[in-house]
Amino acid sequence: MRKKFKVLLFFIFTTFIYFNMYSEEINFTVLNLSIEECVDLAEKTSYDVIKTQIDKENLDISLISNWFAYLPDVTFSLDDSNRYNYVGEEKKYQLPDNYKEQTSSNDNTLRQKIKFSQKIFDSSTIDLIIDSKNHKIKKEILVDQYKLSIRYLVRQLYYETLVFEEQLDYYIKTLELFKNTGATNGIEGLFSADNTITKLNIEKNILWLESKITENKLSLLSTLRRPLTKKLILTTPLKEIVLNKENDIKLALEKNIIIKNKYIDIEEQKKDYVLNFMNFFPNLNIGLDSKFADNLTLGVNFNMQGKSINAAMSGEYLLYDYNNYYYVSKIDDYKYNYENKKTNDWDFGNFNLSIIGSIDLDKLANTGLSVKRLKNEIIKYETDISSYKDSVILSMEKLYLNIKKISKNIQILTAKIDYIKQKKDLIDKGNIPNDINKVEYYETQNKLIIDYIEQLYAEKNNLYDEYCLYYQKIDGK
């Protein structure tokens, strides 16, 4: 008995733990959501999706900031067959393995002049700098665009599901018109058989609608980032939305220029950067060559080919070897106490600065980062906004008229269905004398009821599709 009691206690305890662990899965909380709540919820819970999309666009700031590491790109040259690059650690340079074999010095200390080239910038670097400056604006644009798409998707799924639910309810009520009387002979038997066929067709449509409603609700819950096991009840009544055309157009115009203004901000920043970049060069002269005593020559050389901009500092350093590390130094008298010297102990003395070349800024501006081109981009976006306003007004007018036209079609189809139901009642009462005509007419009316119901709800779906497009314009697309 005690053993059975222990087993019972263990079962109760484990059941309690299980229900607590999995309460989320077994608690089928009903979600009553209006369209406004769905749109708000979709925006808030889908930010992680937006962030993932931004990362895919290579706008991660850590990637863009790599341009800093891109600058120290030093190339040393011993001869045409040996080149080696700066490896990133201060004062230590990677030399070819056969470097000592190529030298004739028997001393442990190696002295040789070595040519170098230090990249200052090129057009790729400038693009990266501009991208890093515009990272925040580009991120905002992507977020705004994603919000527009998520709002449209939520509204589309929401209204389509409401239409399907209303159609489902309408079909279930319509089934009562097609009762099987049980008659098997004569004209009453034919009426009963046709009612059965019509009823089966309606039941098939009901199954399709139930499937679509389930599918749409799963998609909507997934978009809202909600557990898919929960039941969703949509609460917005399905009726024609009251439109305020003048106010809606005003809102649409305000929202529609937000993203385009952000593109203008990007071009403005590019223009400002290029102007500042060009002002970096004194008196239009961008070629410099400076001599520091006998051992070091420094020059700034610009290479412009096609649409590329390249700038490099070139010259000669004095190289010496100590404990298998190769140091670049200006110090000529390194043989005495050089172990106490540092490679940054520079002593330039007097030097002369000479201008060796110049370049017209117009040529620089036409190399892919043209101020003129950027100004044209800004003007283009501003012109787009001006013409886009007209486009928004016209498209809103068109959508408004489409909504009115579809609403009128819905009224007509609703009246037709009511009219056919009345005619069907008259046929049932036997007011048509010829039995054959009566049967054919009866079959036609049954078929028309299904056809008109399908047309009615297809038009309702069209109506809410137009509403979705209408609100998308108001949101800013």
The CATH number of the domain where 213 resides is what? 1.20.1600.10
| Cα 376 from Cα 428, distance rounded (Å) | 76
Structural domain contains residue 406: yes
Query: In this structure, what token pair is assigned to residue 187?
Result: 């004209």
Q: What is the pLDDT of residue 436?
A: 62
| Cα 415 from Cα 434, distance rounded (Å) | 27
Domain range holding 86?
61-133+287-357
Structural domain contains residue 149: yes
Mean pLDDT rounded to a whole number for the chain: 68
- Choosing from 327, 357, 387, the residue where a domain stops is 357
Q: Are residues 433 and 447 in the same domain?
A: yes
Query: In this structure, what token pair is assigned to residue 425?
Result: 């009642």
| Residues paired with residue 149 on neighbouring β-strands, in sequence order | none
Count of residues making up the chain: 477
Number of domains in the chain: 2
Structural domain contains residue 8: no
Measuring CA to CA, how many Å separate 138 from each of 114, 241, 357, 372? 45, 35, 39, 22
Q: Are residues 204 and 164 in the same domain?
A: yes
Instruction: Return the residue matching tokens 């190769």.
Output: 326
Give pLDDT tens digits for 73-99. 455 544 433 333 333 333 344 444 444
| Residues paired with residue 309 on neighbouring β-strands, in sequence order | 304
| Cα 383 from Cα 375, distance rounded (Å) | 12
Q: Are residues 45 and 165 in the same domain?
A: yes
Ranges of residues in the chain whose predicted pLDDT is under 50: 3-27, 64, 67-73, 77-111, 281-295, 304-308, 318-368
Q: Are residues 160 and 228 in the same domain?
A: yes
| Residues paired with residue 200 on neighbouring β-strands, in sequence order | none
Which H/E stretch holds residue 45? helix 35-45
| CA end-to-end distance (rounded Å), the chain | 74
Q: Are residues 258 and 333 in the same domain?
A: no
Structural domain contains residue 10: no
Q: Are residues 304 and 262 in the same domain?
A: no
Residue 355 near residue 287, CB atoms below 8 Å:
yes
Selection from 174, 261, 131, 152 nearest residue 453 by Cα: 174
Selection from 424, 462, 459 nearest residue 444 by Cα: 424
| Cα 406 from Cα 463, distance rounded (Å) | 6
| Cα 290 from Cα 35, distance rounded (Å) | 71
Q: Are residues 201 and 240 in the same domain?
A: yes
- Choosing from 357, 384, 417, the residue where a domain stops is 357
Judge if pTM exceeds 0.75: no
Q: Are residues 158 and 39 in the same domain?
A: yes
Measuring CA to CA, how many Å separate 82 from each of 97, 168, 312, 329? 10, 80, 20, 20
Q: What is the pLDDT of residue 98?
A: 40
3 state DSSP class of 99: coil
Structural domain contains residue 342: yes
Structural domain contains residue 6: no
Do the bridges between strand 111-122 and strand 82-85 make them parallel or antiparallel, or are there none, so unpaired? unpaired
Q: What is the pLDDT of residue 157?
A: 95
Range list of H helices, 241-327:
245-279
Q: What is the pLDDT of residue 327?
A: 45
Query: In this structure, what token pair is assigned to residue 439?
Result: 């049967």
Q: Are residues 125 and 168 in the same domain?
A: no
Structural domain contains residue 179: yes
Range list of H helices, 299-434:
361-365, 371-428
Q: Are residues 334 and 264 in the same domain?
A: no
Residue 271 near residue 133, CB atoms below 8 Å:
no
- Choosing from 296, 329, 357, the residue where a domain stops is 357
Q: Are residues 310 and 208 in the same domain?
A: no
Q: Are residues 103 and 186 in the same domain?
A: no
Give pLDDT tens digits for 154-170. 999 999 999 999 999 99
Q: What is the pLDDT of residue 10?
A: 43
Query: DSSP assignment, residue 280?
Result: T
Structural domain contains residue 26: no
